[in-house]
Structure 1
Amino acid sequence: MENKKSIALDMDGVLANNMAHYIAYYFEETGQHIAPSTLVGLPENACLPDETAVRRYLEHPGFFRTLPVSTNAQEVVRALHERYDLFVVSAAMEFPFSLRDKYDWLAEYFPFISWRNIVFCGDKSIIHTDYLLDDHVKNLKTFAGVPLLFDAFHNAQETEFERLKDWNAVATYFLA
Structure 2
Amino acid sequence: MKKRLIVDIDGVLADIYGQFRKFELEDFGHNQDLSKITGKLEEEAFVNGEIYMATQGFFRHASVIKGSVEAIEKLNQRHDLFIVSAATKFPNSMAEKQEWLLEHFPFITWEQIVFCGTKEIIKGDIMIDDHFKNLDKFYGQTILFSQPHNLNRIENGHSRVTNWKEIIELLS
TM-score normalised according to structure 2 size: 0.94
**Partner of residue 17 from structure 1, selected from 10, 15, 39:** 15
Matching residue's letter, 1:166: N
Q: How does 1:95-134 map to 2 (within 5 A)?
A: 95-134=90-129
| Separation in 2, partners of 1:150, 1:126 | 20
Matching residue's letter, 1:97: N
Please name the residue that 1:77 is paired with. Answer: 72
Number of equivalences: 170
Q: Is 1:165–2:167 an aligned residue pair? A: no
5+ residue gaps, structure 2: none
Deviations 1:61-118 (A, max 9, x none): 1111011111111111111111111100000010011110010000001110111010
Please name the residue that 1:35 is paired with. Answer: 33
**Partner of residue 56 from structure 1, selected from 47, 51, 60:** 51
Matching residue's letter, 1:74: V
| Separation in 1, partners of 2:11, 2:167 | 14
| Separation in 1, partners of 2:123, 2:20 | 31
Moved more, 86-95 or 39-48: 39-48
- Flag as ranges the 4+ runs of structure 1 deviating above 6 A: none
Secondary structure in structure 1 of the residue aligned to 2:13: coil
| Separation in 2, partners of 1:101, 1:43 | 22
Please name the residue that 1:174 is paired with. Answer: 171
TM-score normalised according to structure 1 size: 0.92
Question: Deviation at 1:29?
Answer: 1.3
Report sequence identity in percent: 38
Question: Deviation at 1:124?
Answer: 0.6
Question: Deviation at 1:33?
Answer: 2.8
| Separation in 2, partners of 1:45, 1:14 | 17
5+ residue gaps, structure 1: none
Moved more, 165-174 or 110-119: 165-174
